[in-house]
Amino acid sequence: MIVDLELYPKQSLRLLLFINEQEKQSKKSTKFLEYCNEEEVKEFQYLGEEDRIIISESFRKVVRAEIREYIDLYMEQYQEPLNDKEEALDINEKQYTVYGNFQLFNEQKDTILWDLLTLLIYLDSMNPQIWDRRAVLIGELLQRIGLESEYMRFLSSELNLTKLALCHTFKYGEIWSYLEYILTEYYERIKENEFKSLNNDEIINYVLKDNFEFICLQIDSYEHNYHAWSLVNWLIYELIPTIISTDDSNNPYKYNEIRMIESWVIKLLQRHPSHYGGYHALVNLNESKINSQSKSNKLEVCTVIGLVYPKEIIDMLRIIIECFDHHFINCFSVILGFRYANFMLLIDSVDERSHLQIFENEIIWFQKQDLVEKMSKSPKHLEELREHFYSILSEISSYNYNKSIIQKFYDLLDSEIQIIRQESTLFYNSDCSYKGLV
C-alpha cells in the first residue's frame, strides 16, 4: 500500500471519525473497543444501551496495519524535532485534530500522526510505539509559545484518555509512567492558576479528591494492584511536594497534613484490607510523622506509639478483625507484616532501654484482639504468629540491657506455642505484667 503522509489512512479515518462522534454525543467516555468475529459485526458498530463500540478482528488488523505503515514512514522521513521550542506560533494557523478538535500542529502529517497514535490507544494500548512517541510529542508541544489557551483542555482530555487506557490495560507499566508524566504537567498548569489562592491543606485535599475515584477503580480491578498503590505513593512523595509550599525538602509535610493524607489512604485500604500496598503506604506515612517531630532527642515511648498507632488506624484494624470471616484470614499475614514494619520504626525512634516496652505493647495488642484464639484452628497462622514474635524479639535481643529478659521470652514462646489452644500464659496473661520475667 502506498502511504501519503499528508492524508489519513482511509479505514483509520473512518473509525477515528466514528469514535470521535460517539464521544461528542455521550456524556461519558466511550468504553474501549471490544473485538468480535465477523458473524456478529462486519466492521464496527456502536451499542447505545451498553455505551460501547464493537469491532471485528479482521477490521482491527486492517487499521493496525495502516497505522503501523504510516508511523514507520513518518519515523523514517522525519527524525528532527517538530519546531524550535522558542518559536512563537499563531494558533489560528494550526491544523485541527480529528479526535478532540485540538489545534496543536502546523503540519498536516504531525496532526495525522497524533490522531493515529490516539486511535492506536483504542485498538492496541500495549503497543510500544504509542507511549514514548506520545510523550516526546507532548514534551515538545508544551514548551512552545502560542498554545497556552489550549493547555488545560488538551491535558484534561489526555489525562482522561490515559486513565481510560489503564481501565482496559491496567498492568502495563509504560501507561502508568505516562500517566505520572501527564499528571505532573496537568497539576503544574493548575499550580500557575487555581492553586495560587489555596493553602497547603486545600491543595492536598484537591489532589487527593481528584484522584480518589480512579484509584478506587484500579484497586477494585484485581487483587494487589501494584501499579495503583505505587501511584498512591508517587502522589504523596513525588507530585504533591512539588505543588505545595514547604520549608523542608527532606520532610515536605507538617503533621496535620500527614494525618489528612493518612485518612485518605485508610479510606482506600478499607475497600480491600488484604492489599499490602495500602499498609506499605501507611508505614511510609508513619515514618513521615516520626520525622516531623523534633530530632534533638529520642522520642518517649508513649509519644511514638501514639504517632504510629493513632485512633484511626487502631479503629481500622479493630473493624477488620471484628468482621472476622474468610476475608480476614486473607488479611492476617498482611497485618502481621504491617505490625512488624511499625515495630521497626518504633524501636528506631526510642532509647534501647525502652525496646521491651515496645515489645510488651505488641503483646498487649494481640491480647486485646483475641487473635490467638481466633487463629487457633489454623496451624499455618499460628506458626506465622510465632514467627512474628520471634522476628521482633531478634531485633531487640542484641542489646545487652535486654538479653536476659529476652531469653526468657524465647523460652516461653518455644514451650507454650505447643499448648496455645489451652490459652498460653504469654498471650492470655490478663494483667499483662509478666512478673516471672521482669
- The string of DSSP letters for 140-192 reads HHHTSBT-GGGHHHHHHHHHHHHHHHHHHSTT-HHHHHHHHHHHHHHHHHHHT
Instruction: State the sign of the Cα–Cα–Cα–Cα dihedral 242, 246, 252, 255.
Output: negative
Rg value, the chain, Cα? 28
CA distance 18 to 41: 15
For residue 92, with 0-12 CB atoms within 10 Å meaning exposed, 13-18 middle and 19 or more buried, which class applies?
A: exposed
Most confident region among 36-50, 105-119, 316-330, 376-390 by mean pLDDT = 105-119
CA distance 160 to 158: 5
The pLDDT assigned to 204 comes to: 97
The pLDDT assigned to 345 comes to: 95
Lowest mean pLDDT among 17-31, 205-219, 342-356, 422-436: 422-436
- For 429, the grid coordinates are 496473661
Q: What percentage of the chain carries pLDDT values higher than 90?
A: 40
Mean pLDDT, range 6-23, rounded to an integer: 91
Segment 183-212, tens digit of pLDDT: 999 999 888 888 989 999 999 999 999 999
> Does the pLDDT value for residue 268 go beyond 80?
yes
Question: Which residue reads 512474628 in cell numbers?
Answer: 388
Question: Which residue reads 502495563 in cell numbers?
Answer: 172
The pLDDT assigned to 419 comes to: 45
Mean pLDDT, range 9-37, rounded to an integer: 80
The pLDDT assigned to 139 comes to: 83
Mean pLDDT, range 55-77, rounded to an integer: 91
Alpha helices in 41-80 (DSSP H): 57-77
Strands 34-36 and 44-47: unpaired
For residue 377, with 0-12 CB atoms within 10 Å meaning exposed, 13-18 middle and 19 or more buried, which class applies?
A: exposed
Q: Find, among 364, 362, 357, the residue nearest to 301 by Cα.
A: 357
Per-residue pLDDT band for 366 (boundaries 50, 70, 90) equals confident
For residue 355, with 0-12 CB atoms within 10 Å meaning exposed, 13-18 middle and 19 or more buried, which class applies?
A: buried
The pLDDT assigned to 413 comes to: 59
> Does the pLDDT value for residue 326 go beyond 80?
no
> Does the pLDDT value for residue 36 go beyond 90?
no
CA distance 331 to 384: 12
Contact predicate 283/341, CB 8 Å: yes
